[in-house]
Chain A
Amino acid sequence: MKKENRFLDYIKIILVEVVAFFLFLFFLKVESIWTVIVAILLVALIYFLSKIYKEKFQALLEPFSRYQNFAIGVLFILLVLYPIISPLMIVHSTYWTLILIQTGIYIMIALGLNFQLGSTGMMNLATAAFYGIGAYTAGLLALKLGWPALITIPLAGLAAAFAGLLLVIPIYKTKGHYLALVTLAFGFMLVLAADNIEVIGGPQGLKNIPPVNIFGYSFLNNIGNLHFYTNYYYLVLALLGITILVFARLFNSWVGLTSAYIRDDELAAKGCGINTNFRKLIVFVVGNFFMGVAGALYAHMIGFISPPNFQFAQSLLIVAIVIIGGMDNILGVIVAAILLVVFPEKLRVITEYRIFLYGILLVVTLILRPRGILPFGPRKYDSSILKFARKGGS
């Protein structure tokens, strides 16, 4: 009996994910703004149905939380298959692959900010600047010194982390809004500096940055019929997977717990023996590391970076992703990133209005749903702890 139920649950998971997957492909394929309208209506419909048919919905979602690892595994397989399936269905599949890679890179940056802001309450309005430091570090090391990506990427992360350390050390003991001001000013200063320093390219930026090359295999090679971007797709997928794993584990640990306390009541955190200043410093540095790595990936992939890539508008986008998606919620960040990066690509009509809408969306979200679309759920640490508690602590 039990074995059959399990099998049934697995089928449910696979069915839901595959259907969603093909819906998404369809969404990308059809070239009309009606897809966005339909998508929004569909989501609204599902939302209302879930309120009306609560039990049926719960039954549908239950297998996902019980067999979480299986669900993630299926998702991973689908994501791996995407670049192979999409050219068969979508005309401009290469373009969309690029968009998805860019989304993945933004998710990585946003997860870094989520660790700083969502988990620990530290405002960072210079995410684009740290992303830029990572990009320029990797770009310069690869271009001028010929170092391989396997070295430039981690070094880029360290550069961004170190820059964060230097910036925050003088002021980490002061209140949150000062950090906002300093990062804001730093962002502007960095773009100004990049524009004026000729050695790193000035306003023209860096060109011809070598692509990733792993043990002789250059990422400029096409994979069979698939465009060479596919190489980067898999690289970003892998690194993003690691990033998500790291942050999920940090959330379900002392790190996540102390960060949440620092965010919600710093005084109480101090009273519980937490050296809040030191912890905040580490969080900021760790978050920045991932922003730097994301920058390096971008630099190698596109081969060309310049100051306008790293302006305040990009920082704002990342902040919007974290706040709208849900603070301290990895899934929320991912959903918001897709919403704010992929959807606008479909709505070419509104490109002019994009920044305007980001602003409005931020305001509306913070007034109506301040914790974001998907606010964080209870910290469960581990399924064994959850079971332990369910049994009444026996």
Chain B
Amino acid sequence: MAEEKKTIFYTEDIEMRFGGLYALKNINIKIYENEILGMIGPNGSGKTTFFNVITGFYKPTKGRFYFMGEDLTGKEPYDITRKGISRTYQTSRLCLDLTILDNILIGTYPVQKSGYIDAIFNRKKLIKEIKKHTERAVHLLNIFNPNLIEKLFVPVGSLPHIDRRRVEICRAMIAEPKLILLDEPSAGMNADETQELMDDIEKVRKEMENATIMIIEHDMKVISSVSERVIALNFGQVIAEGTYEEVSHDKEVIEAYLGKEVANG
């Protein structure tokens, strides 16, 4: 009944220290192939810092992490992306003045082959490549919101919040990564938008059957509905791990969110 789950990512005693402050300590986390892993924790518990460390934006002060058997510790963000890990950001880092197409196409940069020479002298090759990726971008947009297709050349800044998030998710998906990290995708959304977002995450899962997803969230509705497994952080350390049922009833987790009195009943 219990299948042998393949570990595609794991960390070894990751520590992230800023001056005297320990943002992460003794982090030992595994990510299994094809799962949707959720990460929760109160503000400042280190969730985004964890993403920043494993995507290379911060170099951990101690510890290592491995992806698909390879040690990625100390590598730059662009190297890590090229290995097959892509992410979204809490503040949805899109270039608002650029078009939807631009913001999605950039996601395929790791796999594109044309350079300066082709741009100037071999347009045919360049256009062929862009056309291929544009088709893929359209395919993805079709899944989330077909209305966006006619707006391919419209600046992203003119879109509502939920559509911007969708563009960002398409950007993360288009290079067909093996691991997608979603950082609080529901940030700034109302109840309706959050519902749409949960559907969107389902669509991501369906579209990318072989991918693994890890999602940081504050909204428990989202976590409970999409995650198969949940890890809880507090003060930079893992305090609970298991299904949402198990973790949400864990005493330490309740204490972290609501305080000691409520936890002790």
Contacts and interface: CB of A to CB of B under 8 A. Distances in A.
Do A and B touch (CB < 8 Å)? yes
Interface string A359-394: 000000000000100001011111011101110110
Contacts of B149: 389, 392-393
A379 B99 contact: yes
A336 to B, nearest CB: 19
Contacts of B77: 267, 270-271
Contacts of A386: 153
29 contacts: A249-B120, A249-B123, A253-B114, A254-B114, A254-B115, A255-B115, A255-B116, A257-B102, A260-B95, A267-B57, A270-B77, A271-B57, A271-B77, A271-B78, A271-B86, A272-B109, A274-B78, A276-B78, A376-B97, A378-B99, A378-B102, A382-B130, A385-B130, A385-B131, A388-B131, A389-B152, A389-B153, A392-B149, A392-B150
Query: In the complex, which of the residues A253, A260, A268, A271 has the most CB atoms of chain B within 10 Å of its own CB atom?
Result: A271
A389 B176 CA distance: 22
A264 interface: yes
Contact of B119 (A255, A265, A267, A268): A255
B98 A385 contact: no
The 3 closest A-B pairs by CB, nearest first: A393-B138, A253-B119, A268-B93
Interface of B: 55-57, 76-78, 81-82, 86-87, 89, 93-99, 101-102, 105-107, 109-110, 112, 114-116, 118-120, 123, 126-127, 130-131, 134-135, 138-139, 142, 149-150, 152-155, 171, 175
Given A268-B95, A272-B86, A393-B135, 11 more contacts: A246-B120, A249-B119, A250-B119, A255-B115, A257-B106, A260-B102, A268-B94, A271-B86, A274-B78, A379-B99, A389-B149
A265 B116 contact: no
A265 B156 CA distance: 14
A258 interface: yes
Interface string A156-196: 00000000000000000000000000000000000000000
A275 interface: yes
B123 A267 contact: no
Chain B residues touching A, majority SS: helix
Contacts of B109: 254, 258, 272-274
Contacts of B89: 268, 271
A384 B131 contact: yes
Contacts, number: 129
A389 B98 contact: no
A219 interface: no
Contacts of B135: 388, 393
A131 interface: no
Given A275-B76, A382-B130, A393 B93 contact: no
A275 B149 CA distance: 30
B97 A271 contact: no
Most B CB within 10 A of own CB, among A254, A267, A379: A254
Contacts of A258: 106, 109
B93 A389 contact: no
A393 B106 contact: no
